[in-house]
Amino acid sequence: MVRSSKNPVIAFLGPLPPPIGGYSIDLQRLVERLGKEGYQYTVYDLLNKRWVRNDGIEGKIRSRLWWMLKYFFFAKEDLICCHHIDWRVRSLTGLMTLLGEKTLISVGGQGLQDSVEKGSWLKRKFIAFSLRHYSCVIAHNPVISKFCLSLG
């Protein structure tokens, strides 16, 4: 990918259809719009073990764990946007800010709160710590916003 001085190169960690619903449709609409605006992006769909770039090139992700660990240290995009529901992906993405990456998380449902409330003490602390380190948190409604703010 060639970085443009005008637009940042963006990475999205999240699902694309199928399945159809929630985050996958939101992400599909978002990247379609960004493509029309001239942004370069890659969607890393860990659910379906694939990646897709705006220029139509696609690839497979063989192992989610190894891919995530490698990406954690060697991400090349200017902005990393997490639209994933897995608390581990969300947490690792938040921690990437400590390595100098610009990160954004979109929280649209009950999943984050469920992960915190049903998790062990260590899991709750890890999620809260990583959420505090995101460059930007986008909460989709006031209830989620209040919950995110309650984590610190």
Q: How far is CA 143 from CA 19, 59, 109, 150, in A?
A: 26, 37, 10, 11
Q: How confident is the model at residue 51 (pLDDT cuts 50, 70, 90)?
A: very high
- The pLDDT of residue 4 is above 80: no
Q: What average pLDDT does the segment 132-137 reach? A: 96
User: Helix, strand, coil proportions of the chain in percent (round to 5)?
Assistant: 45, 20, 35
Report pTM. Answer: 0.90
Beta-bridge partner residues of 59: 51
Residue 21 binned pLDDT confidence (cut-offs 50, 70, 90): confident
Which of the four pLDDT bands, split at 50, 70 and 90, describes residue 48? very high
Cis peptide before 18 (omega within 30 of 0): yes
CA distance 59 to 74: 17
How many angstroms separate the first and last alpha carbons of the chain?
A: 36
* 3-class secondary-structure state, position 112: helix
Amino acid at 100: G
3-class secondary-structure state, position 52: strand
Give pLDDT, residue 5. 53
* Tokens representing residue 92 in the block: 């690792």
| Predicted pLDDT at 93 | 97
Q: CA 106 to CA 26: how far, in whole Å?
A: 10
pLDDT tens profile 71-122:
999 999 999 999 998 999 999 999 999 999 999 999 988 889 999 999 999 9
Q: Report CA-CA distances (Å) from 71 to 13, 42, 93, 118.
A: 11, 13, 9, 28
